[in-house]
Amino acid sequence: MQIRKAEPLDTERLIKMRWDFTIEDHPEKEQADVHVYEKECRRFLEEAIAGDRWHIWVAERAGVIVSHIYIQLVDKVPRPGRVTRPFAYMTNVYTVPSHRGTGIGSQLLEHIHQWVKEHEYEFILVWPSEAGEPYYKKNGYTRVEEPMEYIRE
């Protein structure tokens, strides 16, 4: 298994995996216009992979991406008396079904933990699905009080 950052050549595979990830949890979304989605996702991935705010990590087996984690760095407002570091917002955590339960997701997550530690990012924030909670708990995550949100009407 190889763990690495995503590269431009990975774009088409990542587009397909995001589609599969969404359809797995929301089969009604399969009716969405795939061409509109692909165009939007391609643009996002091209900018994310080339930029420095998103970090997309992939795990490959036999040269095929089978798992990924997306991290966006979020800056915090400086505060007197301490060095302010960004935190990592983790999203789009996915392993293809045929590779689940093999430890690949946990190995990828451990790689992320080491990367966060090396760069001294303050913490990792993730909003897991109910089904994903056991995965995060076994990898050292704890539930915190839910944030508040405002949803525009």
Return the pLDDT at 131.
Answer: 85
Domains of the chain: 2-138 (3.40.630.30)
- State the helix-helix crossing angle for 11-25 and 34-50, rounded to 10 degrees: 130
Per-residue pLDDT of the chain (153 residues; tens, 9 = 90+): 999 999 999 999 999 999 998 888 888 877 878 899 999 999 999 999 999 999 999 999 999 999 999 999 999 999 899 889 999 999 999 999 999 999 999 999 999 999 999 999 999 999 888 888 999 999 999 988 877 777 788
SS (H, E, C) the chain: CEEEECCHHHHHHHHHHHHHHHHHHCHHHHHCCHHHHHHHHHHHHHHHHHCCCEEEEEEEECCEEEEEEEEEEECCCCCCCCCCCCEEEEEEEEECHHHCCCCHHHHHHHHHHHHHHHHCCCCEECCCCCCCHHHHHHCCCCCCCCCCCCCCC
Predicted TM-score (pTM) of the model is: 0.90
